[in-house]
């Protein structure tokens, strides 16, 4: 009761002080006060298993990242108009880890800024304006990028030069057919832009199609679409804000599909919670933008941000977290698959590495957003934190810090099975 009163007071304050566009998770909002590894603790010290937060990729409050931030903050924090080693150490490591022909980096503070900048670069390089995204894409919050983020809702008007294409769908007919279907959508968008006198600048794709319901496999389905945009004179921008830094069990998401990117946007996990993001790109694209525009981002790439990002990269290597994401991810997918096999209320399990989407269905096999939400809330009451996504909001989204281990997978699966069992039991009695 006391707890309810405290949270109700916080909620009221929040509503009074914060803009109406914010949304909280869960019917009964969660109020963490401390984080450590995969755990978030409420004010009574009760541990909640965080199976959702991809930002804290090396674990909440990793001591080495915290120390790097604190030390740099106590030494120097300034902007990118002075010489400093850390930004170079950080950029070098990131570029070395990215496949050719990505050779240079520009730092920003957020994934949205990175996508906005990548779009500007693509427009400057190609001379085109058109931008192609998937039907339920989310790429960020700036004006240009919100206008290319249909998942923000039907009230957000898409840009005049933005076209959407159906997200890739695995109909079980093989990678070639899936790739061809997706590429046909991209070609139709290019044709429609042309009919309106607009040349394409870029195809911008979240490498894991997170808001489209999580689509990662079969690997290779992206290749024909990338080929299609290139033939039309546009660039391929890989949005790795969610997919990047080991999420899928390999370091970056787009090379899984055997494609090269002209520009790659990075964000979320880069600083383990400290704002660090950026655009990596081909030298010619960067050079061209440099000739036509200057770019200065007051906070982007500052010494503290770069110290955080560098520490994250070091910890990832020291703790072998990409390999862990692959191995533990395989267990996660096996566990979820086993649960899904026991009930017709769970459908396809998609994703790769430590990213999983589980379709929730009604008794007739149709998407069931209400059950998905009730499950998400039910898990929260059992101290396991996940969310839901997808065009019908019926895909359970599981995306834990990369330090998730086998015991955590077991806990998550146990709680999911238990919650689903209890729910279906109660609903049958009704
Ligand atoms: N792209 C993708 C795929 C994202 O998931 C997000 C954040 N949810 C963004 C871009 C925007 O990143 P940020 O919130 O850091 O601006």
Residues 69-92 have pLDDT tens digits of 999 999 999 999 999 999 999 999
pLDDT tens for 88-127 read 999 999 999 999 999 999 999 999 999 999 999 999 999 9
Residue 241 has pLDDT above 80, yes or no: yes
What pLDDT is recorded for position 100?
A: 92
pLDDT band (50, 70, 90) for residue 303 = very high
pLDDT band (50, 70, 90) for residue 2 = confident
**CA neighbor of 36 nearest in space, from 7, 65, 13:** 65
Q: What is the DSSP letter of 60?
A: B
| CB within 8 Å of 86: residues ≥ 6 apart | 72, 303, 306, 307, 310
Provide the CA 413 distance to its chain's centre, in angstroms.
22
Residue 340 has pLDDT above 90, yes or no: yes
Q: 168 versus 5: which is more confidently predicted?
A: 168
Question: Which amino acid residue places its CA nearest to atom 12 of ligand 1?
Answer: 111
Q: Which residues line ligand 1 (CB under 6 A)?
A: 110-112, 115, 138-141, 206, 210, 239, 241-242, 267, 277
Closest ligand 1 atom to residue 112 Cα is 16
What pLDDT is recorded for position 177?
A: 98
What pLDDT is recorded for position 425?
A: 87
Residue 429 has pLDDT above 60, yes or no: no
User: CA–CA distance from 311 to each of 86, 118, 240, 317, 405 (Å)?
Assistant: 10, 25, 19, 10, 21
| CB within 8 Å of 333: residues ≥ 6 apart | 349, 351, 352, 356
Mean per-residue pLDDT of the chain: 96
Q: 61: burial class by Cβ within 10 Å (0-12, 13-18, 19+)?
A: middle
pLDDT tens for 249-282 read 999 999 999 999 999 999 999 999 999 999 999 9
User: Would you list the domain boundaries of the chain?
Assistant: 32-58+320-429, 63-318
pLDDT band (50, 70, 90) for residue 158 = very high
What pLDDT is recorded for position 426?
A: 84
Residue 24 has pLDDT above 70, yes or no: yes
What pLDDT is recorded for position 187?
A: 98
Choose the residue to mutate in 116, 119, 147, 242 for probing ligand 1, maximizing ligand atoms within 8 Å of C-beta: 242
- b/e code 141-179 from CB counts within 10 Å (16+ = b): bbebbbbbbbbbeeeeebbebbbbbbbbebeeeebeebb
Domain spanning 63-318, CATH class? alpha beta
Fold (CATH) for 32-58+320-429: 3.90.1150
297: left (phi over 0), alpha (psi -120 to 50) or beta: beta
| CB within 8 Å of 338: residues ≥ 6 apart | 413
What pLDDT is recorded for position 3?
A: 82
Distance in Å, CA 415 to ligand 1 centroid = 29
| CB within 8 Å of 142: residues ≥ 6 apart | 112, 113, 115, 116
> What is the Cα–Cα distance from 84 to 142, expressed in whole angstroms?
29
Residue 168 has pLDDT above 70, yes or no: yes
> Which whole number is the average pLDDT over 139-151?
97
**CA neighbor of 165 nearest in space, from 119, 126, 200, 118:** 200
pLDDT tens for 380-417 read 999 999 999 999 999 999 999 999 999 999 999 999 99
Residue 154 has pLDDT above 90, yes or no: no
Distance in Å, CA 362 to ligand 1 centroid = 30
> Which whole number is the average pLDDT over 153-158?
90
pLDDT tens for 277-288 read 999 999 999 999
Residue 27 has pLDDT above 80, yes or no: yes
> Which whole number is the average pLDDT over 181-186?
98
pLDDT band (50, 70, 90) for residue 53 = very high
Q: 40 phi and psi, to 5 degrees?
A: -120, 135
Token pair for 384: 């396991």
> Which whole number is the average pLDDT over 313-324?
98
Closest ligand 1 atom to residue 137 Cα is 3
What pLDDT is recorded for position 4?
A: 83
Distance in Å, CA 392 to ligand 1 centroid = 20
pLDDT band (50, 70, 90) for residue 430 = low
Residue 292 has pLDDT above 70, yes or no: yes
């Amino acid at each position: 009761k006391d707890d309810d009163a405290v949270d109700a007071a916080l909620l009221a304050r929040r509503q009074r002080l914060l803009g109406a566009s914010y949304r909280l998770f869960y019917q009964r909002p969660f109020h963490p006060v401390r984080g450590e590894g995969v755990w978030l603790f409420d004010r009574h010290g009760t541990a909640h298993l965080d199976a959702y937060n991809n930002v804290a990729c090396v674990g909440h409050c990793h001591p080495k990242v915290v120390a790097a931030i604190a030390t740099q903050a106590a030494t120097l924090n300034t902007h990118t108009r002075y010489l400093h080693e850390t930004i170079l150490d950080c950029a070098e490591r990131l570029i070395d880890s990215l496949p050719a022909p990505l050779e240079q980096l520009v730092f920003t503070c957020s994934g949205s800024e990175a996508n906005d900048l990548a779009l500007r670069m693509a427009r400057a390089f190609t001379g085109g304006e058109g931008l192609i995204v998937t039907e339920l894409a989310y790429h960020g919050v700036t004006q240009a990028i919100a206008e290319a983020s249909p998942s923000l809702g039907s009230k957000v008007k898409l840009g005049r030069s933005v076209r959407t294409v159906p997200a890739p769908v695995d109909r079980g007919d093989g990678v070639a057919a899936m790739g061809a279907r997706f590429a046909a959508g991209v070609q139709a968008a290019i044709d429609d832009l042309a009919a309106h006198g607009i040349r394409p600048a870029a195809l911008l794709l979240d490498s894991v199609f997170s808001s489209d319901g999580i689509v990662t496999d079969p690997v290779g389905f992206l290749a024909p679409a990338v080929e299609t945009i290139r033939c039309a004179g546009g660039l391929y921008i890989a949005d790795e804000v969610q997919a990047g830094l080991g999420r899928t069990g390999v370091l970056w998401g787009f090379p899984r599909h055997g494609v090269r990117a002209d520009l790659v946007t990075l964000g979320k996990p880069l600083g383990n919670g400290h704002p660090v993001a950026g655009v990596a790109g081909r030298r010619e694209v960067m050079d061209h933008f440099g000739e036509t525009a200057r770019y200065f981002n007051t906070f982007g790439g500052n010494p503290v941000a770069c110290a955080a990002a560098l520490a994250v990269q070091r910890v990832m290597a020291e703790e072998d977290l990409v390999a862990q994401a692959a191995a533990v991810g395989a267990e996660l997918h096996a566990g979820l698959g086993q649960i899904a096999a026991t009930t017709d209320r769970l459908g396809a399990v998609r994703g790769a590495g430590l990213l999983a989407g589980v379709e929730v269905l009604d008794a007739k096999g149709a998407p069931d957003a209400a059950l998905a939400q009730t499950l998400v809330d039910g898990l929260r009451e059992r101290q396991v934190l996940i969310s839901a996504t997808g065009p019908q909001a019926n895909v359970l989204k599981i995306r834990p810090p990369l330090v998730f281990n086998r015991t955590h997978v077991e806990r998550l699966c146990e709680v999911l099975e238990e919650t689903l069992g209890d729910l279906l039991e109660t609903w049958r009695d009704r």
